[in-house]
Amino acid sequence: MALDYQITMDCAEPLELSRFWASALGYLAEDNSALIEQVAAQGLATEDDYTVVDGRRAWITLAAIRHPDDPVHAFTGAGLGRRMLFQQVPEPKTVKNRVHLDLRSGPEGRDAEVARLEALGATVVTVIEEPGASHVCMLDPEGNEFDVQ
C-alpha cells in the first residue's frame, strides 16, 4: 500500500515562507480558521498563538499549503494529499539541505520559471549545464536550496 506524505520545512517565518511556496508551486494556503476558533474557544490557544491573514485566523508558528486538486479535511482545513507544512523553529539554517525539491518546468520554460521565482523572492545560486544534468540551483527566501529543471 502506498502512503500519503507531506513535506515539512523548519523555518523562521512560516506564514511568509508558505506564501512564497504557494506562489511558486501554484498551491493554496490552508484555511485552519475553524479549528483555531474551536481551540481558542476551549481555552487551548490564545491570541498570542494566532494572527489574522486575509480575514482568517492563522497559526503564527505553523502554516501549510496544499495542491488545489487534492482533498481537504472539511473541519480542520488540512490538506489530505500533496501538502507542505512550515513550522517555526528558533535556530537559523546553518548547513546545506540534505533533501531539496526539484521543480520541473522543462528546458523550454526553465528561464521564464527562474525569472518568475526570482520575482517571488528566490535567488539563483548557480546554473548547471552538463549532459543529463541541466538545472538551476536556487534558494528560497529563507535560504533553502531547490532546483529548477
- Cα-trace Rg, the chain: 17
Question: What would the pLDDT profile of 58-111 be if each residue is shown by its tens digit?
Answer: 999 999 999 999 999 999 999 999 999 999 999 999 998 889 999 999 888 999
Is there a contact between 64 and 85 (Cβ–Cβ < 8 Å)?
Answer: yes
Q: What does the pLDDT look like over 90-101, one tens digit per residue?
A: 999 999 888 999
Q: Are 147 and 100 in contact (CB under 8 A)?
A: yes
- Chain center to CA of 104: 16
Domain segments of the chain: what residues? Answer: 7-88, 101-148
Average pLDDT over every residue of 109-134: 95
Structure-block grid coordinates of residue 9:
520545512
Pairing verdict, β 101-103 and 83-88:
unpaired
At 21 the pLDDT is 98
Closest Cα to residue 30, out of 89, 76, 87? 76
Rounded to whole angstroms, the Cα distance separating 5 from 128 reads 30
What is this structure's pTM?
0.92
Fold of the domain spanning 101-148: 2,3-Dihydroxybiphenyl 1,2-Dioxygenase; domain 1 (3.10.180)
pLDDT at 118 over 90: yes
Q: In Å, how far are 29, 88, 137 from 123, measured between CA atoms?
A: 23, 22, 9
* Separation between Cα atoms, residue 103 and residue 64, nearest integer Å: 19
Within 8 A by CB and 6+ apart from 3, the residues are none
> Do residues 134 and 107 make contact, with C-beta atoms less than 8 angstroms apart?
yes
